[in-house]
Structure 1
Amino acid sequence: MSEVSSNYRVKSLKLFVILIALLLLVSCASHSPAPVFDRSKSSVIRPKTHVVIPGDTLFSIAWRYGLKYEILAKHNRIYPPYVIRPSQVIRLDIAGTGGAIAGKQQSGKGDARVSPAVTKKPVSTLKNTNNRQENRTVKSANSTSKTQAWGAPQWRWPVKGPLISSFQGSNALNKGIDLGGKLGEPVLAAAGGQVVYSGSGLRGYGKLLIVKHNETFLSAYAHNDRLLVKEGDFVKAGQRIADMGSSGTDRVKLHFEIRRDGTPVDPLKFLPRR
């Protein structure tokens, strides 16, 4: 009897193991596989508004949120020369990064500081105010025509140092490339254009320059030790515009970006092969 009982226990154990295995297979089949996320394509939530702080420009705000500055200006009814003031609320509720905007742009001259209220002023004062506004508009128009005259940028490397970090995508942490070098080495304009931002107001970029090359392309040069040009300056390709540094980061390097219609693109697709 003991032998029969032993055999029965062995068969029962085997049957139990088989049942457990079947249950595990059924359980795995009934659940969908864990989702796989591509970090390089993770979306960035853009706020609906931005409150202007000292040091902000329309270009820097557009850069921060991945928008084309012309569309941002039109959406907020800001006209050349794109003057904004501290505490002004800039609307960012634009569909996508290209941003098709509903409604028509209002015609007229002036800037963000012009009040819609009508006030009585002497004729001479009104005339002088209008002249100043027209002069600013003409200056901005002339600046635009100069940048348009360059046509498609003929890109060149902004520094001689090695590539230490590659482009990771327009929505990723690294929206450009990082190039190594030594403190104080020259940073060169990658193409001709106009400086539209010079400062350190964008968190994570340190001392930053943004150059407008035409109505499509902008380039940025971050973490500089010293900025050698100011907003409004026109620069030529290869001109020294900054000294390499480590502002806003933990090592000496140049963070370089190219943006096409406000969207970050891989600079290596535009720079010449070394």
Structure 2
Amino acid sequence: MSFAFKSIVILFLMVFISGCINPQAVNQYTDNRGSYLVKRSDTLYSIAWRYGLDYRELAQWNQIAVDATIYPGQRLILIRPSSSELPTQSNQPREQSSQSFEDSADTAGNSQQSASVSAFQGNDPRSWLWPTEGRLISTFSAKQLDRRGIDIGGKLGQPVVAVADGKVVYSGNGLAGYGNLIIIKHSDTYLSAYAYGQQRLVEEGTTVEAGKVIAKMGNLKTSTARLHFQIRKNGKPVDPLRFLPER
């Protein structure tokens, strides 16, 4: 099987399993060799999230650091390349000081954030908090694309909190189907995501403690307010109820 054909097949599978993706947006920013054209507000984490990838592998395939700056118009590959097809130096970011094009934190700020993130490495998911109050109205299913997390019903505008200490690696509304979305990195292994928000209250690069209010609950897709909450382990969705305390 040729690399080009294999690339097409793998890209199709990634789009199929990712769920909640606008096909028009996928066609606009991807090509038939399994690459992605970075657009404004993208981060390495949001791109990895969109395609169900481990952000560390995505960085490795493109020969960039996980905290590298990425720029609109930069092309990233989405599949593991052969050794002869690794990105050239021209694909490297101009500097590696921040997470996204819009993040302009200075060197001192980055050093402080790096130190904070290193403290999260031992974060134990068994001690995580619930992200909001309310009734569980939808559970996780690995077989259904629109149930890669859980939905918690509540009141419009009620607080949504970080489930554990971490760093905000995405805060935006650029991922189709998620509305206002916040992604928090808790360790090299675990990420959590909070979608359908009415309002985002934290910016990318912010370090947060467990219980900090990060968003207000919204009502995307439905007439009733709800939070869509996901946990990803090494880039793959896992059942949040395995990690949240019983209540």
TM-score normalised by length of structure 2: 0.74
Which one of 69, 74, 80 corresponds to residue 88 of structure 1?
74
Aligned partners of 2:17 and 2:52 also within 8 Å: no
- Which residue of structure 2 aligns with residue 208 of structure 1? 181
Compared CA separation, residues 43 and 200, structure 1 to 2 (3 A): closer
Aligned partners of 2:56 and 2:66 also within 8 Å: no
1:151 equivalent to 2:123? Answer yes
- SS of structure 2 residue aligned to 1:210: strand
Give the Cα separation in 2 of the matches to 1:69 and 1:236. 22
Give the Cα separation in 2 of the matches to 1:183 and 1:257. 19
Residue identity (%): 46
Tell me how far 1:183 sits from its aligned partner.
0.7
Which sections of structure 1, spanning at least 5 residues, go unmatched? 1-41, 95-100, 115-131
1:67 equivalent to 2:68? Answer no
RMSD: 3.0
Tell me how far 1:134 sits from its aligned partner.
7.2
Give the Cα separation in 2 of the matches to 1:133 and 1:189. 25
Structure exhibiting the larger radius of gyration computed from Cα positions: 1
TM-score normalised by length of structure 1: 0.67
Q: 1:179 corresponds to which letter in structure 2?
A: I
Which sections of structure 2, spanning at least 5 residues, go unmatched? 1-14, 19-25, 96-104
Give the Cα separation in 2 of the matches to 1:58 and 1:102. 21
Give the Cα separation in 1 of the matches to 2:119 and 2:222. 34
Compared CA separation, residues 174 and 55, structure 1 to 2 (3 A): same
Compared CA separation, residues 249 and 87, structure 1 to 2 (3 A): farther
- Which residue of structure 2 aligns with residue 190 of structure 1? 163
Tell me how far 1:175 sits from its aligned partner.
0.6
Tell me how far 1:142 sits from its aligned partner.
2.6
- Which residue of structure 1 aligns with residue 39 of structure 2? 53
After TM superposition, the runs of 4+ consecutive aligned structure 1 residues lying more than 4 A away are 101-106, 132-140
- Which residue of structure 1 aligns with residue 10 of structure 2? none
1:101-125 C-alpha deviation (Å, 9 max, x unpaired) = 765999x9xx6125xxxxxxxxxxx
Tell me how far 1:146 sits from its aligned partner.
2.9
1:26-69 C-alpha deviation (Å, 9 max, x unpaired) = xxxxxxxxxxxxxxxx9638961111111111100000011111
Compared CA separation, residues 143 and 88, structure 1 to 2 (3 A): farther
Tell me how far 1:249 sits from its aligned partner.
5.0
